[in-house]
Amino acid sequence: MKRVETAIVIGGGIAGLTTALALGRLGIDVKVFEQADSLREVGAGLTVWSNGMYALDELGAAQDVLKAGQVVESFRFLDEAGQVLGAVDLARLERLVGQPSVTIHRRALLHALAQVLERTVSGCSIHLAEKFLRYKQDGGHVAAYFESGSVHEADILIGCDGFNSLVRKQVLGDTDRNYSGYTCFRGVTEFPEAEIPRGAVWHTNGVGTQFGLLHTGAGQMAWYATANMPSGVIEDAHERKDYLLDRFGSFHELVPRLLGATESSAILKNDIYDRSPIYKWSDASVLLVGDAAHPTTPNLGQGACMALEDAAVLGRAVKGGGSVEDIFDRFCKRRMRRTSFVTRSSRRAGAFNQSENQWLLKCRDKLTAALFKGGSMPTIDKIMGYKI
Ligand SMILES: Cc1cc2nc3c(=O)[nH]c(=O)nc-3n(C[C@H](O)[C@H](O)[C@H](O)COP(=O)(O)OP(=O)(O)OC[C@H]3O[C@@H](n4cnc5c(N)ncnc54)[C@H](O)[C@@H]3O)c2cc1C
């Protein structure tokens, strides 16, 4: 049986770089193709929960990510007035998994992953400004065609090209995307170090809205704010800031201060979509990974963590040997139940948290207080306390 010797990875995001790391560490010659002219991520923060850090540790990247980010020291749920409703027992989570949870600026995460790749893998090259168009398979080889006119061949091709993946489109055809009914604004701002609750991730429940602040280290705070609205509205940056200041003006004082401190031009907006879980991620020598395979809403902070888990599991599957079909089969069997559970749980959490029904909101706040009374909750253990 032929060993996998060469791989093409489409997309140089979180899934792409960690997949390259997982394959490169096994001695596979990996070429990463990214459509942008630099490796870049949007200016926002991210939580890599313990389960994601566990996967990063297996890939030899946990320490670098830890250094570039901030260990989460308090994860609290608050009401609009700033009253604490509950908290996640982070020490317990760390004991379960053996890794802390970390908040990090997305750019810093991508930079750390690129550095680990460069330092630890010799057979990996990154090709920028290369937009993938399609693939063609023939006799156990796959050829990738790019907008630039270049064509590259390898034993396998891994689609890490995100939500609007062209690799996915070719593997599966058109698949439905679901608009959640809410949008998410995000930003990052410098904030006086003395006023930053060190290692804080504080999530505030509102009426049809959620506001989260994340201390990402080095005097920086990242935040997110959700609101129920149709997709495609409030696209102007200045309008966004006015809208947010008005909508969140009555929240506990850190919220309007953070919004006020953020440059209008640094406020991002993403209408929140996911796709229903599907049970086919491969086509012979082609496989989907990360958001290309199982895009989820951000309610549980797990999209990137799932991509990290995918990369480590793919590394294990390749190490296990066998035909490409066997390898991809093993990967899918290990990942499908887990990722569909996370996608569905996240969708449900979003519907609940975005509710505007007063009775349901009272239940939500009471439930949060009751569930997190001892600091732990079975769902947190199952999702964030998971070891691949
Ligand atoms: C508001 C919000 C908050 C979130 N918070 C968290 C969180 O706290 N924790 C967490 O774990 N996850 C979080 N996520 C989810 C996380 O951002 C994604 O799951 C993750 O970025 C997916 O990584 P990816 O590499 O699969 O896809 P992407 O990040 O989309 O990367 C895809 C890459 O492929 C490139 N590409 C696309 N098409 C082509 C092509 N044709 N040719 C070449 N290159 C191409 C793109 O340029 C990009 O670089 C959040 C998401 C949102 C929207």
**Least confident stretch, 134-148, 243-257, 331-345, 355-369:** 355-369
Report residue 76's pLDDT band, with 50, 70 and 90 as the boundaries. very high
Which spans in the chain are helix H? 14-24, 50-58, 62-68, 90-97, 106-120, 166-172, 237-248, 254-261, 303-319, 324-353, 358-371, 378-383
Distance 164 CA to ligand 1 centre (A): 10
- Atom number of ligand 1 nearest to Cα 307: 26
Atom 39, ligand 1: residue with shortest CA distance: 161
pLDDT tops 70 at residue 52: yes
pLDDT tops 90 at residue 43: no
Quote the tokens at residue 99: 């890794």
Distance CA 38, CA 88 (A): 37
Distance 19 CA to ligand 1 centre (A): 13
Distance CA 266, CA 242 (A): 13
pLDDT more than 90, % of the chain: 84
Asked whether the beta carbons of 93 and 380 are under 8 A apart, the reply is: yes
pLDDT tops 80 at residue 335: yes
Report residue 378's pLDDT band, with 50, 70 and 90 as the boundaries. confident
- Atom number of ligand 1 nearest to Cα 306: 11
Distance 138 CA to ligand 1 centre (A): 30
Distance 106 CA to ligand 1 centre (A): 10
pLDDT tops 90 at residue 119: yes
Report residue 375's pLDDT band, with 50, 70 and 90 as the boundaries. low
- Provide mean pLDDT across the span 2-12: 95
Quote the tokens at residue 197: 């609750």
Distance 89 CA to ligand 1 centre (A): 28
Q: Give me the pLDDT at residue 296, please.
A: 98
pLDDT tops 70 at residue 132: yes
Does the global pTM surpass 0.75?
Answer: yes
List of residues 6+ apart from 386 with CB closer than 8 A: 51, 54, 97, 309, 338
Residues with CB under 6 A from ligand 1: 10-16, 33-36, 46-47, 52, 131-132, 160-163, 166, 184, 186, 224, 270, 290-292, 298, 301-305, 307
Q: Which sign, positive or negative, has the C-alpha torsion 233, 235, 240, 244?
A: positive
pLDDT tens-digit readout, 215-269: 998 889 999 999 999 999 998 888 999 999 999 999 999 999 999 999 999 999 9
